[in-house]
Structure 1
Amino acid sequence: MDHLSAIRTFVEIADQGSLTRAAEVLDLSRAMVSRHLESLERWLGARLLHRTTRRVSLSEAGQEALPRLRQMLDLASDLQTVAGARHNEPTGKLRLTTSLSFAVASLTQAIVAFRSRHPRIEIELLTVDRAVDLVGERIDLAVRITNRLDEGVVARRLATCRSVLCASPAYLERRGTPDRPQDLADHDCITHSFGSRSEYRLRHAGRLTSVGVKGPLSSNETAVLREAALAGAGIAMLPSYFVRDDLARGALVRLLPEHEPEPLGIHAVFLSRQHQPRPLKLLIDFLAERFGGDIAPWDRPLPIPDSRRRPRRG
């Protein structure tokens, strides 16, 4: 039996703590998983797992073998990458995660452009409103918008996320336009449940200040806040990548432009720089190139239509 497949199966069993869950992840039958495990134990001449009717646990030999077998998988992956780099199109499957708003506004188009270069790389994109466990949920890359990164992960900064205070013309006509940050206390503010629920952090003349805010509506999803702002529910702090077109067409009005909300970093977050699969490295480099620069693409001025180009009449 293929020793490499048997090693991969054992590592998955160790990660999942179950032969059944490992079979589901690997898309194998439970019987095949058991055969892979038995083959590896025969090859190594040692029992790797203690099995009961409810759970499995690593034997002493299994605990000693696991880190070495992980290294063997990494080395095999590196060898395949090096051997095929010059001649073969990169292949593989990547699991990504980011917020719904960033996926809709920017990341999905970037992924489509990336796959036009590397059509044999498959990508599964999961949108969530929380920081996921990269190991537990088998995530290769998370694109996170934050200034606070978890310990134990590696990150590469891709761009800066700037936000704007904005509201619909209907709301401003009904409630008036704030002239100072302190005026926000008299307005309905639509806030993020996990971010700016009770305060807005604004920067003016190099100083960062906090302004207390309140309102009848909050949500853990930025897309909901945008829809509420468009519907006239109040003032919202929204990322510029998500409301650029709304501001350009006048559906939303930018407020207090001299008081900029605190910028956040947009990061590519992954587990390790060592033994990094080639598809993952290619994708991270692509995103850094696409989103990087002194000004993020969504913050650059919109192109001005050429008035000389007139429609031709038939």
Structure 2
Amino acid sequence: MDRLTAMKVFCEVAASGSFSATADKLDMSRAMVTRYIAELEDWLDARLLQRTTRKVTLTDAGESCLRRSQQMLALMGDIEEETARHDGELRGQLRLTSSMSFGFAHLAAALSDFLQQHPQLKIDLNVSDRTVNLVEERIDLAIRISSEPDPLLIAKPLASCPSVLVAAPGYLLAHGTPTEPAALTHHRCLSYANFGKSRWQFQRGEEQQSVNVSSRLSANEATVLLHAALAGGGIALQPTYLAQPYLAAGQLQAVLADWAVPAMTIYALYPSRRHLSPAVRALLDFLHARFQAQPW
């Protein structure tokens, strides 16, 4: 039995309270999770978990094993980092989270290129727009787009994130092209549920306007709204990192191009500067250099 892997599986079960969730997170079958736990209990000759139909809880022996297992895994991580310092090779696994739209559009390719440079490294990327607790879920790095990042986290700016209003040419041909922000009240607008859902801000020089838009379709994910706009569903406020290829191809047209909307920033967020692993530092530097050079 790989006892370190068994300890890792046990720690994940203890954290999630679920064999199925652990199987999904570690990309193994539920039967394999069960086997690792059973073999760890056989090795220690102790019952570590109480299992019911509703939840999984730790026994007293499980509480003690959890502390020791966490220490062992942390020690193994330290050994890997120390070895990496001597031979210059990054090892281990990084856990990242990112929004789905940015993960799909740019981050996946960036991480693939980074891994080609570091063949001994592994990355687990969770794409989600929900807010996650980086400490509780043991996330090394969160890539988030925001105007006000969480003040409790360290935030390293990777790139600016401008946005643009877009619509399909067919929609504008059928409904007209607005020439002033106020005209948006007469259009079908596609709203991002997590940001400026019904109130859009505009600026042109010193002039500012705020418009309450009526949205028949809103979503919590930018890519959904992008494809709704491509289908002629209305006018969408899109980050340029998503919209730019479609604007260049003529599949979308910019709307109110002489008006600016508030820009946000793409941040890398992490819990603490202390004990930042060489792999995380290397990835931060790589992403910063890559995204600073992007035209969007």
> One fold, TM greater than 0.5?
yes
1:118, CA displacement in angstroms?
0.9
Residue equivalent to 1:251 = 251
Q: Deviations over 1:45-98 (max 9, x none)?
A: xxxx8x756554586xx69x94x9857754553343233323152122223222
Q: 1:274 to 1:169 in 2, by over 3 A?
A: same
Q: 1:58 to 1:274 in 2, by over 3 A?
A: farther
For structure 1, the 5+ residue unaligned runs are: 42-48, 300-314
Larger radius of gyration: 1
Q: 1:186 to 1:276 in 2, by over 3 A?
A: same
Residue equivalent to 2:241 = 241
Alpha-carbon RMSD across the aligned residues, in angstroms, is 3.5
Quick one: distance in 2 between partners of 1:19 and 1:99?
Answer: 26
The aligned amino acid for 1:225 is: L
Residue equivalent to 1:213 = 213
Quick one: distance in 2 between partners of 1:283 and 1:75?
Answer: 22
Assess if the C-alpha contact under 8 Å between 1:240 and 1:298 holds in 2: no
Residue equivalent to 1:178 = 178
Assess if the C-alpha contact under 8 Å between 2:84 and 2:91 holds in 1: no
State TM-score, norm by structure 1: 0.75
Assess if the C-alpha contact under 8 Å between 1:244 and 1:298 holds in 2: no
Residue equivalent to 2:41 = 34
Residue equivalent to 1:105 = 105
**5 Å matches for 1:273-284?**
273-284=273-284
Aligned length: 286
Residue equivalent to 1:190 = 190
- Does residue 131 (structure 1) correspond to residue 131 (structure 2)? The answer is yes
Assess if the C-alpha contact under 8 Å between 1:19 and 1:33 holds in 2: no
- Does residue 168 (structure 1) correspond to residue 175 (structure 2)? The answer is no
Q: Deviations over 1:283-307 (max 9, x none)?
A: 1221011112xxx5132xxxxxxxx
For structure 2, the 5+ residue unaligned runs are: none
Quick one: distance in 1 between partners of 2:74 and 2:218?
Answer: 45
Instruction: Pick which of 121-130 and 105-114 moved more.
Output: 121-130
- Does residue 90 (structure 1) correspond to residue 112 (structure 2)? The answer is no
Q: Deviations over 1:153-201 (max 9, x none)?
A: 3322111110001112211111111111111111111111222321112
Q: 1:127 to 1:77 in 2, by over 3 A?
A: closer
Q: Deviations over 1:8-45 (max 9, x none)?
A: 67755653457997798596532233356x48x9xxxx
Q: 1:53 to 1:93 in 2, by over 3 A?
A: closer
- Does residue 297 (structure 1) correspond to residue 288 (structure 2)? The answer is no
Percent of aligned pairs with the same amino acid: 37
Q: 1:127 to 1:207 in 2, by over 3 A?
A: farther
Residue equivalent to 1:307 = none
Secondary structure of 2:156's match?
strand
Q: 1:75 to 1:238 in 2, by over 3 A?
A: same
Quick one: distance in 1 between partners of 2:38 and 2:283?
Answer: 36
Secondary structure of 2:129's match?
coil
Quick one: distance in 1 between partners of 2:23 and 2:76?
Answer: 22
Q: 1:184 to 1:88 in 2, by over 3 A?
A: same
Assess if the C-alpha contact under 8 Å between 1:77 and 1:277 holds in 2: no
Q: 1:23 to 1:126 in 2, by over 3 A?
A: closer
1:204, CA displacement in angstroms?
2.8
Q: 1:210 to 1:70 in 2, by over 3 A?
A: farther
Assess if the C-alpha contact under 8 Å between 1:78 and 1:275 holds in 2: no
State TM-score, norm by structure 2: 0.79
Quick one: distance in 1 between partners of 2:51 and 2:169?
Answer: 64
Residue equivalent to 2:157 = 157
